[in-house]
């Protein structure tokens, strides 16, 4: 008992001195970041979905963005090498259609910021050297293949070669699902889930999230707003297949949580071991107040989780397990 009292006295005195010092220095900013640093220490957050050079964001802004959101570990997902092929819509989808950097850039940045960053491996699937390019970065330590955001059938032979590579290296595969644009024919993807039961697939983006709703019939609608009836394709994939996971990132992930919060509470509860936080936003600041979807997504997960335990799974523990961080 006396130990506890003694400890809390010391802590509060130290806090007082530090606060006073910072106020004297006239820097409320520093006080904010001190509070943030304390929060980060006690509640680490893993962000499984970010990009380097996302549109015009600088490396310094990326670092500041992640730290402002309270992220302790970030996985950078590279683009494939630019190509004029069917899978990149003759070049229109190069750079993940976001000017995102490639394998070498993600690898080098992660190497220079080892404590905070990891990296993935990627290649345009119909490039001749796709497999050797991905394998090169897996050997260097890539923790995921993706973001696979290409105009291909989800069960195309070149995609299956990538799934086989993921199986050989025991890394997950992260896919951007967007109707008639990226990864075609979501409704028959269960065939791949069954054919590759040892590969962990992570679903992301508009078509993935729109299909939480059983009544989502018009697949051309990418950001539906109506209330959700459980039992959509996505809901069933997550329930029926141990190797299917969901990435909560981007406007699509946020929309899935905000469009019907009563449904979202049950959805997070039901799939608490399968859903993983990611940000995938391009803003420089990382502040919810200025519309950072990553920060808003964290706030929404905290708001809708039934317990601290579930919240920690979604923001940290599930990623730690799946990516063996």
Residue closer to Zn ion, measured from CB, 202 or 233: 202
Measured distance CA(63)–CA(286) in Å, rounded: 10
**Binding string to Zn ion for residues 226 to 265, with x set by CB under 5 A, is what?**
----------------------------------------
Find the shortest distance in angstroms from Cβ 98 to Zn ion: 8
281 binds Zn ion (CB under 5 A): yes
Residue closer to Zn ion, measured from CB, 50 or 243: 50
283 binds Zn ion (CB under 5 A): yes
Binder of Zn ion out of 51, 53, 57, 176 (CB under 5 A) = 176
User: 154 burial class (0-12, 13-18, 19+ CB within 10 angstroms)?
Assistant: buried
User: 116 burial class (0-12, 13-18, 19+ CB within 10 angstroms)?
Assistant: middle
Size of the site for Zn ion (CB under 5 A): 6
Q: Is 270 helix (H, G, I), strand (E, B) or coil?
A: helix
Scan for tokens 């345009």, then name that residue: 124
Measured distance CA(150)–CA(159) in Å, rounded: 10
**Binding string to Zn ion for residues 199 to 228, with x set by CB under 5 A, is what?**
------x-----------------------
Cβ proximity of 203 and 245 under 8 Å = yes
Find the shortest distance in angstroms from Cβ 294 to Zn ion: 4
Q: In this structure, how many other beta carbons lie within 10 angstroms of the beta carbon of residue 185? A: 15
Residue closer to Zn ion, measured from CB, 260 or 283: 283
Find the shortest distance in angstroms from Cβ 318 to Zn ion: 19
Measured distance CA(159)–CA(136) in Å, rounded: 17
Measured distance CA(128)–CA(258) in Å, rounded: 42
294 binds Zn ion (CB under 5 A): yes
Among 78-86, 168-176, 188-196, 240-248, the segment contacting Zn ion (CB under 5 A): 168-176
Judged by the rule CB under 5 A, the positions of this chain that interact with Zn ion are 176, 205, 281, 283, 292, 294
């Amino acid at each position: 008992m006396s130990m506890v009292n003694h400890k809390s006295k010391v802590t509060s005195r130290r806090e007082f001195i530090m606060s006073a010092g910072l106020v004297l220095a006239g820097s409320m900013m520093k006080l904010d970041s001190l509070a943030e640093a304390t929060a980060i220490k006690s509640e680490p957050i893993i962000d499984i979905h970010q990009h380097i050079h996302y549109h015009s964001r600088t490396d310094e802004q990326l670092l500041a963005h992640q730290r402002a959101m309270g992220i302790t570990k970030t996985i950078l997902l590279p683009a494939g090498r630019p190509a004029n092929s069917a899978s990149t819509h003759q070049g229109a989808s190069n750079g993940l259609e976001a000017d995102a950097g490639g394998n070498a850039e993600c690898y080098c940045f992660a190497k220079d910021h080892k404590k905070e960053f990891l990296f993935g491996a990627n290649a345009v699937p119909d490039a001749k050297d796709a497999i050797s390019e991905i394998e090169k970065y897996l050997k260097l330590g890539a923790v995921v293949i993706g973001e696979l955001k290409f105009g291909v059938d989800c069960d195309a032979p070149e995609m299956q070669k990538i799934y086989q590579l993921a199986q050989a290296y025991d890394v997950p595969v992260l896919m951007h699902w967007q109707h008639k644009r990226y990864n075609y024919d979501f409704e028959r993807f269960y065939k791949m889930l069954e054919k590759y039961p040892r590969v962990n697939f992570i679903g992301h983006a508009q078509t993935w999230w729109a299909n939480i709703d059983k009544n989502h019939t018009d697949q051309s609608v990418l950001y539906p707003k109506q209330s959700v009836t459980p039992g959509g394709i996505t809901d069933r994939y997550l329930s029926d297949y141990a190797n299917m996971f969901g990435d909560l990132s981007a406007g699509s992930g946020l929309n899935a949580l905000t469009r019907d919060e009563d449904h979202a509470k049950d959805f997070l509860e039901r799939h608490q071991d399968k859903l993983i936080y990611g940000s995938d936003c391009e803003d420089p600041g990382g502040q919810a107040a200025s519309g950072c979807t990553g920060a808003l997504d964290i706030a929404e997960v905290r708001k809708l989780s039934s317990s601290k335990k579930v919240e920690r799974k979604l923001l940290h523990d599930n990623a730690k397990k799946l990516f063996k961080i």
